[in-house]
Structure 1
């Protein structure tokens, strides 16, 4: 009870700060857009990619082909197109600091058959590296920035079909689902049915003595709507802080339309999985839109790290 009172008190204080911070961002912060250079042909890009070295310090397979441009190696065309569309949507319709998607190419390589050509973010470090060194005020600015960013993301576009931006339903990725892609889910009802099945799975694990019985009812239908646009992979590796104090969001490969609590649980599970600092984990509920009832239900089903349903 005390924890909830503290949460609501802090959340109210942050909500009061949201408005002046929004005004500050809109009228005093310059829109962050990197200059566009190198009008290269597709063949020139491919030749540069084939001779470039991997970029150090990144999880994804990235190569830097010029001072301003990196190329991401993607696994397949089906998932590359939605990622590029997500990047374009965010770049065109929000003030979020995110790399511009310059081009998408089909090209066979060791990682797959697709490439995304995008901005290189100069003079930046992963948030997981710099977070421990930041002052209280710098951390507060990041919290307020994330709140502002996530409101913008949720308002960009809507859909009645869960998952990536696509004319047809595609498999969905995210730690709120599994360690591997699941679906596709052509309707909200099919996504809800997936979570209903988790009760039977959890009871099975309990019958084997692997975990306690959840003794839970299904999640109410109301928690699965509306579907909002979601980054869906906001771990600290996908947040970059540059030398001007600008917070960048990168890697939109898991983005799509999901229930509002997906962003919160995705951030929380990623922080647990990566063993991020407690100070960061504590701040997540103030940045994303938490649903504590869903979180408790998911915990009973075994979600979190490490849990048996993740396999």
Structure 2
């Protein structure tokens, strides 16, 4: 057995959870930034962490199935939990994360090509719609605009989600979103260079779908606009936003969502946990 790839040659659909856990301890560690990524075969990895779970895997499988190959997402083999730690076995994408090279050091042509692929992917998933907000499988919205604590509950309808945001906005008297959550589309919600991989053929792959779900498309734009000037991804996000275009009808909602981010960045980010929102 090659210790770099402990499950090489195995049918991953037939591998037990215990064998995956064992492979995670001896495979090649390729990332340990918050969550661990371990290669278990030459073509597959395990994503491992306390915040890794079924919700992310369901989002990935849904997008892969419904995008007709227009957006590249690693194939998921298995997801499970062991001792409160989540595992997702998925394809290994042979390439490099975009954050391996500073955005300013890429050529104009490289940046244009990447931005076009990002925006094409976002427009593709925007065509995927649902009547219930949140991640696939009726899970609890997590991360980004929902704070590090998550929303604390699942939402049944767009209107059901409004009080959560109105509570946040009420903390700073910034208005409310009543009636503004209309069409719900698939959003990635964590578009950053660390979550994008260029393969050897120059094709872009979208990783880390833990925060994804069905939301008004203004949510995606607000998550990109939220990046501060000092963020290494600031100019990248600005370039993506410029290519996406800005619909004037979204301006009011985007502004309110940025106010929610402002609350989340302060001492009241977990206030919803005690307010029953």
- TM-score, length-normalised on structure 2? 0.79
CA distance in 1: counterparts of 2:116 and 2:218, whole angstroms: 18
Whether contact under 8 Å (1:174, 1:266) holds in the other structure is no
Which of 174, 177, 192 is the aligned partner of 1:219?
177
Whether contact under 8 Å (1:127, 1:241) holds in the other structure is no
Whether contact under 8 Å (2:187, 2:219) holds in the other structure is yes
**Cα shift at 1:53:** 4.9
CA distance in 2: counterparts of 1:302 and 1:126, whole angstroms: 25
* Residue deviations 1:10-47 (CA, integer Å, cap 9, x gap): xxxxxxxxxxxxxxxxxxxxxxxxxx964142254332
Task: Give the equivalent residue in structure 1 for 2:142.
Answer: 173
**Cα shift at 1:58:** 4.2
Aligned ranges 1:190-269 → 2 under 5 Å: 190-203=160-173, 214=174, 217-221=175-179, 223-269=180-226
**Cα shift at 1:96:** 1.3
The 4+ residue runs of structure 1 with deviation greater than 6 A are none
More helix by share: 1
Name the SS of the counterpart of 1:171 in structure 2.
coil
Whether contact under 8 Å (1:268, 1:284) holds in the other structure is no
Which of 272, 279, 288 is the aligned partner of 2:228?
272
The structure with more radius of gyration: 1
Determine whether 1:119 maps to 2:91: yes
Calculate the aligned-residue CA RMSD, in Å: 2.8
Name the SS of the counterpart of 1:139 in structure 2.
helix
**Cα shift at 1:128:** 6.1
Distance 1:155 1:300, change over 3 A: closer
Name the SS of the counterpart of 1:180 in structure 2.
coil
Name the SS of the counterpart of 2:22 in structure 1.
helix
CA distance in 1: counterparts of 2:243 and 2:76, whole angstroms: 26
CA distance in 2: counterparts of 1:139 and 1:308, whole angstroms: 37
Which of 245, 251, 257 is the aligned partner of 1:292?
251
**Cα shift at 1:48:** 1.3
- TM-score, length-normalised on structure 1? 0.71
> What 5-or-longer segments of structure 2 have no aligned partner?
1-7, 271-277
